[in-house]
Amino acid sequence: MTINKWLSNSFDDYELIDAGGGQKLERWGEIYTIRPDVNAYFSPGLPKEQWNSFKPLVFKEFENTKGKWSSTHTNWHIAYRSLVFNLETTKFKHVGLFPEQEVNWKFITQHLNPSHRFLNLFAYTGAASMVARATGAEVIHVDSVKQLISWARKNMESSQLDGIKWVHEDALKFAQREVKRGNKYDGIIMDPPAWGIGAKGEKWKIEDQLEPLIQIAYSLLDNDGFLILNTYSPRISLDEINRIAKKYFNRVETGELWSKAKSGKELFYGHLMRATKDK
């Protein structure tokens, strides 16, 4: 199987400047950060003195992804095209946006219009929801964490958008009910974590739920609808994703998601699958 390599691009308010030594250096507007990244196992392209010259916020990891930033709690915002994303330092090293998803934002923009319906499952702070809504499409945003839905709503308001439907529920259970209701979508994006806890404390692992998620997405898509699936779990290979997806979709494209740093280093972010339902 040929492995596609999708390379995300920087934009005006975001740059991956360098990566290496188990860390990555990024610019978010006027704020610089250094965060741990297990995929940055190689040597950095720039000397550490140059990294530190940006006076970055540095995340020190203590337990799994939990840790502490070198500075006090910080809030700021950046823009992507006409959209505005509110960022903040969190104890989980994330700041509220995954810029490597830029390749999917472009795909969504190219494939949606005001006549379409779009479903964002495991929607986090809603970047894909904002991108889809900016096309005029009807958008349903589903996440099991109330605080993340509130964050996404703030992004919508800051982007001067409206009309997104917010659903606080387990993503798979909501999708199953949508099938029973006979609802259809023209596009679906799923960004499930490697492991998760549902709205009522249910525990699950992506390797156990991958096929049910793909199957339910197929059932929800209209005749020429598309599915985007991101996975970050090392327990799931591209071959496995491809095998499962082709049980339901005739047109499947799988590959790896990468970003190229300003220094020339390239950083792997995970696996990506796009599938289209034939008419």
175: left (phi over 0), alpha (psi -120 to 50) or beta: alpha
Question: For the chain, what is the domain count?
Answer: 1
Residue 228: which domain range? 4-276
Nearest to 83 by CA among 177, 175, 12: 12
Model's pTM, two decimal places? 0.93
Question: How many whole angstroms separate alpha carbon 158 and alpha carbon 278?
Answer: 37
User: Per residue of the chain (279 residues), what is the pLDDT tens digit?
Assistant: 567 899 999 999 999 999 999 999 999 999 999 999 999 999 999 999 999 999 999 999 887 668 899 987 689 999 999 999 999 999 889 999 999 999 999 999 999 999 999 999 999 999 999 999 999 999 999 998 999 999 999 999 999 999 999 999 989 999 999 999 999 999 999 998 776 665 566 666 777 789 999 999 999 999 999 999 999 877 888 999 999 999 999 899 999 999 999 999 999 999 999 999 875
**Strand ranges in 169-242 using DSSP code E only, listed in sequence order:** 185-190, 195-197, 203-205, 221-231
Nearest to 152 by CA among 173, 180, 123: 123
Helix (H, G, I), strand (E, B) or coil at 28: strand
Question: How many whole angstroms separate alpha carbon 253 and alpha carbon 274?
Answer: 5
- Looking only at the bridges linking them, the beta strands covering 185-190 and 117-121 are parallel
What is the per-residue pLDDT across 198-208, written as a single tens digit (0 to 9) for each? 556 666 677 77
126: left (phi over 0), alpha (psi -120 to 50) or beta: left
Residue 70 phi, psi dihedral angles, 5° rounding: -75, -15
Q: What is the CATH number of the domain that holds 169?
A: 3.40.50.150
End-to-end CA distance of the chain: 25
